[in-house]
Structure 1
Amino acid sequence: MIQRIQSVYLLVVTILLIVCMCTPVGAYIAEDYSVSKFTNLCIVSADGVKDYAPWAMFVILVVAALLSFTTIFMFKKRMLQIRMTIFSTILLVGYYATLITFIFMLKDDSMTFSASWTLCLPFVAIILNWLAIRAIGKDEVLVKAYDRLR
């Protein structure tokens, strides 16, 4: 059913990933204290020039959010729901690997990276995915027990 607890978990994951997509991930601070915003889609330098190098992080978040949202409506196919949630979790781990790669690849020697609070949102989404997997598994066990009693 849609009103199960795993649906709430997956909906919150979707919301968290959308918030993470829309807010800056951090900032590069140069020695002259000029700040370049680092978002999931682009880097906006202090003079307003945009560099669309980290677009892959945006794509990963969009795919993970869409996957989590469509998983909500697959409540009749619980094993597929578990597999899709596991794949979403793997995507979010890949997001962190991509983020670390872009942080070090786009950083100059004279810059420091200052992380934003939004970097914790995909980690919270990973935890909620794990809770959703556990709840879906409990539902599967319950359905199999009911089938055995018939």
Structure 2
Amino acid sequence: MIQRIQSVYLLVVTILIIICLCSPVGSYIGSDYSVSALTNLCLTMADGTKDYAPWALFAILLVVAVLAFGAIFMFKKRMLQIRLTIFSTILLIGYYATLATFIFMLKEESMTFSLSWTACLPLVAIILNWLAIRAIGKDEVLVKAYDRLR
């Protein structure tokens, strides 16, 4: 199960998404140099108050992490594994669209937004999902070739 390369890719995707869940995505810097941190679950203002408006970011990443981890154990159902991985990739693209929406919705006129390094982790996960889909497809072709030989 874990000795297959696509399982390693999907495990790394799960780890990257969990890291992204726990880390701040960026920060708003006000004109008075006050910093408000944007995480996937909440926006923490400079005075310590929290606004839970971006909870959808957390929900999307949580679903992607569960899908990627669950797809590891679908090694006998390769086509379902490919479908789950494609759906996970679509959700990650939707995550970026949702993140851009929240960045512009929560930003005030006198603020600038600075992305954190963790904002690139879903992009790396998209690339790893694509590599996993290719590897699963190669396995499926190999199994079909063995079935034809019997």
| TM interval, short-chain normalised | over 0.9
Per the normalisation by structure 2, the TM-score is: 0.99
Asked if residue 75 in structure 1 is aligned to residue 80 in structure 2, the reply is no
1:132 corresponding residue in structure 2: 132
Corresponding residue for 1:32? Answer: 32
Equivalent position amino acid for 1:13 in 2: V
Alpha-carbon distance in structure 1 between the residues aligned to 2:89 and 2:61: 11
Q: Which amino acid aligns with 1:108?
A: E
Q: Which amino acid aligns with 1:51?
A: D
Tell me if 1:105 matches 2:105: yes
Q: How does 1:46-125 map to 2 (within 5 A)?
A: 46-125=46-125
Shift of 1:2: 3.5
1:48-88 Cα offsets, whole Å, 9 max, x none, are 00000000000000000000000000000000000000000
Q: Which residue of 2 aligns with 1:17?
A: 17
Look up the SS of the partner of 1:27 in the other structure: strand
Alignment RMSD: 0.5
> 1:16: how far off?
0.1
Write the distance in 2 (CA, Å) between the matches of 1:3 and 1:69. Answer: 15
Task: Indicate conservation of the 8 Å contact 1:2/1:75, yes or no.
Answer: no
The SS at the match of 2:103 is helix
TM, length-normalised to structure 1: 0.99
**Deviation per residue, 1:83-135 (Å, 9 max, x gap):** 00000000000000000000000000000000000000000000000000000
Aligned length: 150
Distance in 1 between residues matched to 2:143 and 2:98, nearest whole Å: 39
Shift >3 Å, 4+ stretches = none
What letter is aligned with 1:35? V
Report the Cα distance in structure 2 between the residues aligned to 1:131 and 1:57, rounded to whole angstroms.
24
Identity %: 81
How far did residue 3 of structure 1 move? 1.8
Task: Indicate conservation of the 8 Å contact 1:2/1:73, yes or no.
Answer: no
Give the aligned partner of residue 8 of structure 1.
8
